[in-house]
Structure 1
């Protein structure tokens, strides 16, 4: 973790002339963008996989009609179809899974009072008036919602809400484009996901409220990137 801390500190030093007291926050945003840029090829592959899975839905619906009374036979038939068409049902999870280590590194880095036996100097860095190691509850206890730190969180919540709204609309649009089975109903198994998925973007609001501000910045930046990426890749 000390190597990662050194990386953040070096980035902050480079950005200091431009961002002043918020240089470390800018470094986290830049680091997040670099991570997402590295993961982008996987995101493109996931988008292609999603389009391929969508194209397979009518055939899967037909398999359900044929083997609906034999779950094991249906499962094998669906797996064989995916293998034959070289479509992985889990490919879309890879970009998110690969990002988890970076998020948890930031979380632990800005939750630890010491690094390598020394005081964690990164905790002294701020985004405007809000400490990067602080949480929303700390801001509420230090000036309240409209205090200096509280207003920083208010700005983050506003950004997340706007991004989540766009994500909600994109997900609803994608769900509406799902193929329809011959009996007029959506392909079985999609109904519950169709109802829940559009609201997943709003869960970022909860994350921002409970994690250290540095990790919240990662989430906000990554979520914004994801929505913009989906808007381009899933056209």
Structure 2
């Protein structure tokens, strides 16, 4: 790993390890799990202003859909003019095609840190104590996919997969409700199945990163529900 990336990894390791040490007398073997959930919630709380801004952008873009449809019909034979007109319309109303994606992009560094911390035996020249944590018998540093043959015998993997599937189902329903009449069949298929991508992801990342995904996707569903109301 490049040296400039070692500093944030080492800093995150010491921060998370300190939190686990503080929690251990109170929570025992659940200390690492609770620390991961707490850090994830803190990250999402810090990103709340971005989420609110993204939600407003999505609402503004939804309001522009009739105008965008008219522009598409008017300049169907002139793609370059169409792109200019769409960009101008969105700029005038303070929204973009990427409205709603800000929180997701902002979370990528934190997900990368969680993946890195629980996939290395050494961090900053020290033995990585975090990977010794478990969730209902499943090691936090092990990917679910590597244990698929003994999936049913490892409650931690089963619980994580089931909870991710439940959250994905709610997320898909919420995404479908947000689509308007002009949504294409492709958009509807993506809204219906894309949330289940988390189940595929956790098969190849450490269980700790899967726990991060579970926590952050649950937050997203609750957050969108509240913001819609």
TM-score normalised to structure 1 length: 0.89
Aligned to 2:143: 135
SS at match of 1:209: coil
Give CA-to-partner distance per residue, 1:201-224, whole Å, 9 cap, x none: 111111122210111110110111
Aligned to 1:12: 20
Counterparts of 1:216 and 1:121, CA distance in 2: 18
- Give the whole-Å Cα distance in 2 for the aligned partners of 1:137 and 1:200: 19
Query: Does structure 2 retain, via aligned residues, the 8 Å contact 1:21–1:128?
Result: no
Instruction: Confirm or deny that 1:49 pairs with 2:69.
Output: no
| Residue 140 of structure 1, CA deviation | 4.1
Counterpart in 1 of 2:158?
154
The equivalent of 1:110 in structure 2 is 118
CA distance in 1, matches of 2:198, 2:94: 33
Q: Does 1:69 align with 2:77?
A: yes
1:167 corresponds to 2:171: yes
Match of 1:203 in 2: 197
Residue deviations 1:49-92 (CA, integer Å, cap 9, x gap): 00000000001111112111111111111111111112222232
Off by >3 Å, runs of 4+ in structure 1: 137-141
CA distance in 1, matches of 2:191, 2:145: 28
Unaligned runs of 5+ in 2: 1-8
Q: Find 1:119's aligned residue among 120, 127, 130.
A: 127
1:193 to 183, 187, 197: 187
Secondary structure of residue in 2 paired with 1:112: coil
1:18-37 matches, cutoff 5 A = 18-37=26-45
Partner of 2:212: 218
Whether the aligned pair in 1 keeps the contact of 2:136 and 2:155 (CA below 8 Å) is no
**TM-score, normalised on structure 2?**
0.91
| Distance in structure 2 (CA, Å) of the matches to 1:233 and 1:220 | 20
- Kept in 2, the 8 Å contact 1:168–1:199? The answer is yes
Cα RMSD between the aligned structures? 1.5
Q: 2:171·2:195 contact (CA, 8 Å) conserved in 1?
A: yes
- Which ranges in structure 1 are unaligned for 5 or more consecutive residues? 181-185
Q: CA deviation at 1:191?
A: 3.6
Count of residue correspondences: 221
